[in-house]
Amino acid sequence: MPPLANLPNPESVVLGTLQGEDFDRVAKEGARTVPPRENGGNCDIKNLSRGSRIYFPVFVEGAKLSVGDLHFSQGDGEITFCGGIEMPGWIELHVDVIKGGMDKYSILKNPIFQPGPMDPNYSEFLTFEGVSVDDSSGKQSYLDVNIAYKNACLNAIEYLKTVGYTAEQAYMILGTAPVEGRVAGIVDIPNACCTVSIPTAIFNKNILPQKE
């Protein structure tokens, strides 16, 4: 069982201009930014890109804003964890404060955003399904979309092995290419159904199933 959360780590904390006692206090208490959180966190979303507008709830008076961890490309789910294709770069930001906006627009728990005009533009996909049943053990997990999406990715990896890729290469394709992940069904008990769609135009060959 992996840890449910990583505790604060004073040795690797980055706190802008804080110094002295304030630095020590926040370093010991500050929430890690690795997971997505109410105030933002590590929101590695492929559609949150150039030209996007994001609305963050603000919980602390005088709160700061930081941005980082740029990706050149990644797939939905960031299944390889290391961020698809990481890249150096710079970000130009414009910030406005909407006073009372959290209550007015009920943005009380998590950010919302408007995608920019730079979404990956593909129209043809090969889509793989996955359901919330462990293939190796047969264990049923009630409407578990994490297992369903994992199975969709594993099904895609097994398929890509039949068209000339190793399992490792297929895994990296799903993590770095702009694949589209969907929760296709969470109402059909007991199985959740998720899909992962691979844009066919990223390949230099036809990967669709062929008649003999």
Q: Is residue 14 part of a domain?
A: no
Whole-structure pTM value: 0.87
pLDDT at 101 over 90: yes
Q: What is the pLDDT of residues 68-80, one digit of tens each?
A: 788 999 999 999 9
**What confidence score (pLDDT) does residue 34 get?**
83
Q: Per-residue pLDDT tens for 4-46? A: 888 888 888 888 888 999 999 989 988 888 888 898 988 889 9
Mean pLDDT over all residues of the chain?
Answer: 92
Q: Provide long-range contacts, Cβ within 8 A and 24+ apart, for 139-147.
A: 140/190, 140/191, 142/189, 142/190, 143/186, 143/189, 143/190, 143/191, 143/192, 144/192, 145/183, 145/186, 145/192, 145/194, 147/192
**Average pLDDT rounded to a whole number, residues 40-65:** 89
Q: Is 97 in the same domain as 135?
A: no
Q: What CATH number did the domain enclosing 190 receive? A: 3.10.28
Query: What pLDDT shows up at residue 135?
Result: 83
On the question of pLDDT at 83 being above 80, the answer is no
Instruction: Give CA–CA dist 40/55, Å, rounded.
Output: 9
What is the secondary structure of 104-137 as a DSSP string? Answer: HTT--SS-EEE--S-------EEEEEEESB-TTT
Residue 18's alpha-carbon distances to 22, 24, 26, 56, 209, in angstroms, are 6, 9, 9, 22, 58
Same domain, 140 and 195: yes
Domain limits for position 189: 125-202
Sign of the four-CA dihedral 45, 49, 55, 56: positive
Number of neighbouring beta carbons within 10 Å of residue 39: 16
Give a yes or no: residue 159 inside a domain. yes
Same-domain status, 114 and 129: no
15 located within any domain: no
Mean pLDDT, residues 180-207 taken together: 96
Question: Is residue 22 situated within a structural domain?
Answer: no
